[in-house]
Amino acid sequence: MDLRLPSKVLEHILSFVDSNEDRNSVSLVCKSWFETERRTRKRVIVRNCYAVTPEAVARRFPEMRSLTLKGKPHFADYNLVPDGWGGYAWPWIEAMAVKCPSLEELRLKRMVVTDECLEKIAASFKDFKVLVLTSCEGFSTDGLAAIAVACSNLRELELRECIVEDLGGDWLSYFPETLTSLVSLDFSCLDSEVKLSDLERLVSRSPNLKSLKLNRAVSLDALGSLLRLAPQLVELGTGSFSDKLDQEAVSKLSQAFSEMKELKSLSGLWDVLPEYIPLLYSVCPGLTSLNLSYATVQMPNLVELLTRCSNLQKLWVMDLIEDKGLEVVASSCKELRELRVFPSGAEGLNDTNVAMTEQGLVSVSEGCPNLESVLYFCVQFTNAAMITIARNRPNLKCFRLCVMEPFAPDHKTQKPLDEGFKAIVERCKDLQRLSVSGLLTDKAFEYIGTHGKKLRMLSIAFAGDSDLMLHHLLSGCESLNKLEIRDCPFGDTALLENAAKLETMRSLWMSSCCVSFGACKLLSQKMPKLNVEVIDEHPLETRPDSSPVERIYIYRTLAGPRLDMPEFVWTIQKNPEIGVSHLAIK
Amino acid sequence: MELDLDLSLSPHTNSSNFGLGFDLNKHLNTKEKSFDAMLGLENMEEDCYVSKPRSFSLNGQSDKEDDDPLEPDSSVVYDEEENCKVVGWPPIKSCMKKYLNYRHRSRNHPYHHHGRRINISNQPATIERGGPLTSLRSSMYVKVKMDGVAITRKVDIKLFNSYESLTNSLITMFSQYQDCDREDTNFKFTFQGKEGDWLLPGDVPWKIFAESVHRISITRDCLCPYTRLLF
């Protein structure tokens, strides 16, 4: 008796399985389930573009409609990955153009995207709807024009923190009059001014527009007329908020804001002048997300705004908010889930706001029961504060503390911050992401290895004493997926002893540590399923095995060595004849 | 330049049991070496807080306008991408760093600049492409429209460091395409800033100009046959 479900029935059942994690499990059941699942998967996410080839992905998921790709390692955001390392979108777009011409959505993060890529997208995918580029680079506004002119069903075009060669604002004028499907437009990272009349016409003919994020060049005056055309916006990123307006223009703008009944997310607000803060009062009660990273007003103005934001769930703000302001957040924003506080000083240490200390974060941890994600830049911190925070908020999922002074101890006791981080990992049992900083010894990492069982991503800088540190982490953190380390005295032994662990992780980044060239070679030989990349500006051929390398990036892959490596990236496949000489490992 | 590694060496120098025997002293040396190597600053003066020189024009010469006391000192070099002493620290994304530096510069009068100023002697400097220190430096292309020429050209302002070098290059560029004797021609340059106002060369200091220029227009008054037909 054949007990198998007919594939049509299985397909129907699987159409209700949405999450990729579940679908991955489904595909492991048996061959027929694997087949049915792969033929019906619409949304594919590849979190390391070098882990698998584009052809393999296209072959496995022929009905793919949405593809998400990530390229460079996270530390590329902080200039630690040299230009030209890789992460090219072209091979993916080229392959999909042939094999998946029905592709509708492309989301790329930290990849190199050229104008040719954008032109290829515009020419190849007839029903293209969504393009979201995050922290990408390599293209110009000409490429945007190509997308605008050709994608007649475009719904989303979002450029988040991209580095774009800005040839002017003409690109916006290329959206045809027939395009009425726009739902989201984000050009906040561009510098040039777009033609206001074209923008207004685009907005007026887009009844489904829900999200509009303008660039700084859009004046406050222009904002008024845009808001009147799109009062239905759910997400708004303003342009510059500092032009001088006359009384009539101000009251018109105020009126426009008060008409925006659906607004949930507000950002932009570049250089906002204190006298314009009241313009925002009418939308505050409805806001769930507020990004004040560029709002350079002082604490009293910020407080006026935040007392009115009782439904706020996500707040990004500069340290201009100070401890006092964070106390207000703690008492007013009871729904807060995510807090990010950025430094306001241009010179890093010297300029930062000293009226913001660890106390600010402690207040928020006391007052906001749903707080689960924190990114906090601060000059110094204390163990006591972290212990209190951990006690208050065992539900933390993401804790990223950046004590800006490297090696800074607890400023009250002068001890390392080991005990503080111990409290965090011990109490916050669901902690998935952790960034540590300040003075830390190997003990801190012993605690993290012992307690951080759900930890998936860990970032470390200027910490620890020895190899033990890395050993604790690799042997203890069972769920570890991404580990990135800079300027720590980790060396060969821990890496080689825990080599097998690396196959269970997505990637490991180490820069300015103490990993020797010989260890890299040995690791490459031992672990053929990993790409072990040595990224070093100085030629490696003549290096002795004992000399430390500048950076290593290790990731598991099914694709084998990549073919697009620049000169300064070495893998063992490049020089297979270099043998591994006398590296004694016990 | 040194990062101040103010560590107490006492209780935390546990050597590893693996026989590699790291002690903090060795650790410090390695670190310092790697900082210096990373920053390529072996020969820089102690006091400077800038780690990357900006690119200068292809001529390599800095402008004589430096002598004007009211003008921002163009021998003090800022790198927009760096706001700290160590590469990538504190870990802030480049768009935010760019904004913080812009805000910092516009708030401070050049003579009362926060921190110490340095004078780097006027030597030509180039950005290494593809080195560990370079972050992607966006060029700044502006449109150049010359009278009587149908096609607008584009030029990267960041390649120049003075009005003279810019105008000379533009004249050279256009002369290649027009049958116009550049000796006989009287070129007039006007620049449009972001606010829409039109300026003449020298109206604003070069640095400010380079940040805010939006468009360039060239009119010419020459004796070539084409224009003779027009007038």
- Do you know the residue count of chain A? 586
Give ipTM to 2 decimals. 0.88
- The percent of chain B in helix, strand and coil, each rounded to the nearest 5, is 30, 15, 55
Q: Do A271 and B103 touch (CB under 8 A)?
A: yes
The candidate with the shortest Cα–Cα distance to A67, out of A59, A76, A75, A58, is A58
DSSP state of B114: S
Averaged confidence pLDDT in chain B? 56
> Is A584 an 8 Å CB contact of chain B?
no
Q: Do A467 and B18 touch (CB under 8 A)?
A: yes
| A522 within some domain | yes
Q: Do A489 and B132 touch (CB under 8 A)?
A: no
Dihedral in degrees, nearest 10, Cα atoms B13, B17, B18, B24 = 0
User: Span A544-560, mean pLDDT?
Assistant: 94
Q: Do B18 and A163 touch (CB under 8 A)?
A: no
Question: Could you give the 3-state DSSP secondary structure of residue B66?
Answer: helix
The distance of A371 to chain B (nearest Cα, Å) reads 22
pLDDT at A79 over 50: yes
Question: Could you give the 3-state DSSP secondary structure of residue A324?
Answer: helix
In degrees and rounded to multiples of 5, residue B135 shows phi and psi of -100, 165
Q: How far is CA B81 from CA A14, B50, B52, in A?
A: 48, 10, 9
Return the pLDDT at B19.
31
Evaluate the CA torsion angle A46, A49, A52, A57 in order and state its sign: positive
Domain segments of chain B as ranges: 139-219
User: Span A452-459, mean pLDDT?
Assistant: 97
Region B139-219: CATH code? 3.10.20.90
> Is B116 an 8 Å CB contact of chain A?
no
pLDDT at B127 over 70: no
What is the residue whose two structure tokens read 């069982």? A453
Q: Looking at beta carbons, which residues of chain A come within 8 Å of B214?
A: 192-193
| A64 within some domain | no
Q: Provide the CATH number for the domain around residue A18.
A: 1.20.1280.50
What is the residue whose two structure tokens read 């070539």? B224
Checking DSSP bridges between strand A457-461 and strand A433-436, what pairing results, if any? parallel
Range of the domain at A23: 1-41
Q: Looking at beta carbons, which residues of chain A come within 8 Å of B114?
A: 347, 350-351
**Cα end-to-end distance, chain A, whole Å:** 56
Q: Is the separation of the CB atoms in A291 and A266 below 8 Å?
A: yes
| A382 within some domain | no
Return the pLDDT at A422.
98
| A248 within some domain | no
d(CA A311, CA A223): 25
Return the pLDDT at A350.
54
| A512 within some domain | yes
d(CA A350, CA A404): 10
The greatest distance separating any two alpha carbons of chain A, rounded to the nearest whole angstrom, comes to 83
Using a pLDDT cut of 90, give the percent of chain A over it: 88
- Of chain B residues 47-76, which have a CB less than 8 A from chain A? 49
Q: Looking at beta carbons, which residues of chain B come within 8 Å of A82?
A: 130-132, 134
DSSP state of A270: B
Q: Looking at beta carbons, which residues of chain A come within 8 Å of B105?
A: 346
**Cα end-to-end distance, chain B, whole Å:** 64
Q: Do A163 and B94 touch (CB under 8 A)?
A: yes
The distance of B222 to chain A (nearest Cα, Å) reads 30
Q: Is the separation of the CB atoms in A443 and A418 below 8 Å?
A: yes
The candidate with the shortest Cα–Cα distance to B140, out of B173, B178, B176, B166, is B166
User: Span A51-55, mean pLDDT?
Assistant: 97
Amino acid (one-letter) located at A362: V
Select the residue of B6, B31, B88 nearest A80 (Cβ to Cβ): B88
The distance of B101 to chain A (nearest Cα, Å) reads 5
Q: Looking at A143-147, B56-60, B106-110, B211-215, which range is the least confident one? A: B56-60
DSSP state of B109: -
> Is A493 an 8 Å CB contact of chain B?
yes
Q: Looking at beta carbons, which residues of chain A come within 8 Å of B134?
A: 82-83
pTM of the model: 0.76
| A28 within some domain | yes
Residue contacts between A and B (CB atoms, under 8 Å): 163
d(CA A219, CA A244): 10
Q: Looking at beta carbons, which residues of chain B come within 8 Å of A441?
A: 12, 14
| A557 within some domain | yes
Helix (H), strand (E) at residue B145: strand B141-146
> Is B93 an 8 Å CB contact of chain A?
yes
d(CA B18, CA B53): 43
DSSP per-residue codes, A78-129: GT-S-TTS--BSHHHHHHHHHH-TT--EEEEES-B--HHHHHHHHHH-TT--
pLDDT at B185 over 60: yes
User: Span A370-387, mean pLDDT?
Assistant: 96
| A584 within some domain | no
pLDDT-based confidence at A54, cuts 50/70/90? very high
The distance of A78 to chain B (nearest Cα, Å) reads 4
Select the residue of A165, A189, A467 nearest B139 (Cβ to Cβ): A165
User: Span A238-257, mean pLDDT?
Assistant: 94
Which tens digits make up the pLDDT trace of A485-528? Answer: 999 988 899 999 999 999 999 999 999 999 999 999 999 999 99
Give the count of domains, chain A.
2
